[in-house]
Amino acid sequence: MSDTAAVPACHMKKEAAPKPKPCCVCLDEKKTRDECLLFNGQESGKCNEMISQYKSCMKGYGFETH
């Protein structure tokens, strides 16, 4: 019985969708964050909201941020 059509769908393994690469997600948030940091520097505190938005977006894709 090598025919997979004979096996009920509920007994077949579902392959998980491949996790996207971190460089391919949250592009708008990353660009905004990077531009802010470039012109203001991290020490200014002006970019904290943008950094938080980027981290939140990355967590949504399953990436851990520190």
> Tens digits of per-residue pLDDT, 23-53?
999 999 999 999 999 999 999 999 999 999 9
Residue with tokens 């491949």: 18
pLDDT value at residue 35: 98
Rounded-to-integer distance, Cα 8 and Cα 45, Å = 56
Of 49, 54, 52, 62, which Cα lies nearest the Cα of 31? 54
> Model's pTM, two decimal places?
0.70
Of 23, 28, 47, which Cα lies nearest the Cα of 37? 47
| 3-12 mean pLDDT | 52
pLDDT value at residue 66: 76
Rounded-to-integer distance, Cα 64 and Cα 10, Å = 32
pLDDT value at residue 28: 98
Q: What percent of the chain has pLDDT over 90?
A: 67
